[in-house]
Amino acid sequence: MDFSVRFLSKMACLVGAIFVFIAPVSAGSDTIKEIDKNAVYTDQGKVFSLSELFWSERDVSFERLIGKQIKLDQSDFHEPQYKTNRYGDLRGKILVDGIGWLQSYWISRGTALWQGAGPYPLNLKKQLLEAERQAQEKKHGVWRYVHVETVQEVMELSNFNGFHIVHGKVVSVRKVRGTTYLNFGEDWRTDFTVAILPNYKRNFKGKDWNLDTLENKWISIRGQLRSYNGPYLELYYPEQVEFSDIEAKLIGAK
């Protein structure tokens, strides 16, 4: 495994239960023609995005899904920017006959993780995170051999590359030439740092919390880690950040 995972193990339950669709997919739906780790392709030429997923397992078999009835539910994707990704692929809840909500199904089995790709409806994000929490608790899939890492554990890694979910306390928030840095240690030259570059700050505007309020708060961050003055990770969307219920109330986040 070329990545490690860490997640807020004591995070309060975000939703009471996962709403799983198990009813047969209605008439008029498409048929799955092909699937890869980026999208589902239908017999009607439609492409349904899987950009919200990070595939935690290298080898995933999609063969048994070929030929199944499939339908895209975009009822929660009200805003235009929610409905497609940058390639024009359709985004939404992918409902598969006999399985239900496909993205939640894969996350609940530990086959995939919530990637934090935004923008994404908050209620659906909470449901996918709850599916992930349950998979972690039951040690399904990838959770059998990885665990949630603290900032200290990240500092001790010999290889900083790969997808990570890091939980820790933001020691300070600094702005340098338009970039906002979340420092998780006293020495930014060596400690774990998260950056929000100027081009992506627009994704954080209009939210109910802002980056300046994160100082001294405990949060979870997910994304691709690399080495740059110590372990370093860039934020592109607020969907990459999670709070405990208590911390969310303190900063006014939903």
Least Cα distance to 180 among 219, 213, 150 occurs for 213
Question: Letter for the amino acid at 160?
Answer: F
Residue where the block lists tokens 């980056």: 211
Each of the 254 residues of the chain gets a pLDDT tens digit; together they read: 444 444 333 333 333 334 444 555 665 589 999 999 999 999 999 999 999 999 987 788 899 999 999 999 999 998 888 899 989 999 999 999 999 999 999 999 999 999 999 899 999 999 999 999 999 999 999 999 887 789 999 999 888 889 999 999 999 999 999 999 999 999 988 999 999 999 999 888 866 667 888 999 999 999 999 999 999 999 999 999 998 654 444 444 44
CATH number given to 149-251: 2.40.50.140
Are 30-140 and 149-251 the same fold in CATH? yes
Say which CATH class 30-140 falls into.
mainly beta
Q: Where are the domains of the chain?
A: 30-140, 149-251
3-state SS, residue 36 = coil
Query: Is the four-CA dihedral 22, 13, 160, 179 of positive or negative sign?
Result: positive
